[in-house]
Amino acid sequence: MPELPEVEVVRRGLAKWVSGRTIDSATVHHPRAIRQHEGTKKDFVTRLTGRKVKSVSRRGKFMWFVLDDDNAVVTHLGMSGQVLMQAPDAAPEKHLRVRWTFRDDKRAMHFVDQRTFGGMAIEPLVSIDYDEAVPRSVVHIARDPLEPHFDQDEVVSRMRKSSSAIKSVILNQNVISGIGNIYADESLWRAKINWTTPANRISASKLHDLVNHAREVMTQALAQGGTSFDSLYVNVNGESGYFSRELDVYGREDEPCNRCGRLIARQPFSGRSSFLCARCQPRPRSGKTP
DNA sequence: GTTACGACCTGCGAGC
DNA sequence: TGCTCGCAGGTCGTAA
């Protein structure tokens, strides 16, 4: 499941392969892959043909190709999206959704997505602060902890205004971006916070601690190429990351806690799962457990 | 304005 | 062996 480290691995790979190259053709193999694009499939293809890719940027889990006409191709990997650089004559993958070829006839770009939660859309770039520009649909996404202008004091302040469970708050991409289910559980374990704790009942220093752990765990994951549980996440060369071996709680139900030895528990959370150590991360005293 | 929850989607494994 | 069902989960829209 691609979260910030996995998307950044893909972005770095793409930056090497496509920056400065001119798109020769674009093919849409599944309409759902461009459902966020405001124009038609023909419009998507026409507007890409002949455009040069200047660079590849990212905020949180959103990534975009900056084109030479001041538009951007916003790309979200969803749950199962992959961007692969393939030989021009490579056979199409079973779940190939969008394909670009380039005028230099070197490797083509394949957007592959089994569950089609991801997608691509061409959008204008909008100027924001610090002389930066982001695609229109990314304006509402908060800065992620790896960005140079990430304002941690402001993020903690926003967190403390919410009465929601802290896990819901750190998964809210409008508050802090890039964190998904895996790194949320890992950060909360490192900070010794129970995921059900209302955010406004956690001290500012503890929330700073949590954000620092989130930054730390995602930086470590990035250094190891991201977290791969199966073939659903790979880099642009089709290679898996290795951080799943370092996870302390996520996916480790009934295994001993690396800190205290108590068995890791799995709890339902909004239709999905939360993993935690009940000893290291005790429930809030008078809080209600969902 | 804030919060909670369902819908979207496909492959895989468990259970029958 | 083959079928059904639950699970995985990021984002968005809607309801409360």
Look at residue A252 and tell me whether its pLDDT is greater than 90. no
**Residue A38: predicted pLDDT:** 86
Check whether A274 has a pLDDT greater than 80. yes
Q: Which residue, counting CA atoms, is nearest to the C1' of nucleotide C8?
A: A272
pLDDT for the residue numbered A286? 63
The percentage of chain A sitting over the pLDDT mark of 90, rounded to a whole number, equals 62
Q: Which two tokens stand for residue A276?
A: 């935690």
Q: Is the CB atom of residue A60 positioned under 7 angstroms from any atom of strand C?
A: yes
pLDDT reported for residue A244: 72
Please state whether strand C lies within 7 Å of residue A168 at its CB atom.
no
According to the model, what pLDDT value does residue A230 have? Answer: 64
Interval A127-183: pLDDT, tens: 888 888 999 999 989 999 999 999 999 999 999 989 889 999 999 999 999 999 889
Nucleotides of C under 7 A from a protein CB: 7-12
pTM: 0.93
Residue A289 has pLDDT above 60, yes or no: no
The tens digit of pLDDT for each residue in A194-231 reads 999 999 999 999 999 999 999 999 999 999 888 766 66
The pLDDT of residue A24 is 96
A161 vs A287, more confident: A161
- Straight-line distance from CA A261 to C1' C11, in Å? 36
Q: A288: pLDDT confidence band, cut at 50, 70 and 90?
A: very low
A273 touches strand C (CB under 7 A): yes
Question: Considering chain A, what is the average pLDDT of its residues?
Answer: 89
Give the pLDDT band of residue A260 (cuts 50, 70, 90).
very high
Q: Facing residues of A65 across strands?
A: A56, A73
pLDDT at A228: 66
* pLDDT band for position A287 (cuts 50, 70, 90): very low
| pLDDT digits 0-9 by tens, A98-129 | 999 999 978 999 999 988 889 999 999 998 88
Is the CB atom of residue A175 positioned under 7 angstroms from any atom of strand C? Answer: no
User: Among all strands, which nt has the closest C1' to A35 (CA)?
Assistant: B8
DSSP secondary structure letter of residue A162: -
| First-residue to last-residue Cα distance in chain A | 25
Closest CA to A194 of A256, A121, A277: A277
Q: Where are the alpha helices (DSSP H) in A126-274?
A: 152-159, 166-171, 181-191, 204-223
Tell whether the torsion through CA atoms of A278, A282, A286 and A290 is positive or negative. negative
Predicted local distance difference test score (pLDDT) of residue A79? 86
How many angstroms separate the Cα of A245 from the Cα of each of A50, A217, A221, A225, A256? 43, 13, 10, 12, 14
With distances taken from each CA to the C1' atom of nucleotide B2, the closest residue turns out to be A162
pLDDT at residue A57 tops 90: yes
Distance in angstroms (rounded) separating the CA atoms of residues A46 and A31: 15
Evaluate if residue A189 carries a pLDDT over 90.
Answer: yes
Say how far A162 CA is from B4 C1', in Å: 14
**Protein CA at A289 to nucleotide C1' at C15, angstroms:** 23
- Is the pLDDT assigned to residue A85 strictly greater than 50? yes
Per-residue pLDDT tens for A8-35?
Answer: 999 999 999 999 999 999 999 988 899 8
Please identify every residue of A annotated as catalytic. Answer: 2-3, 61, 272
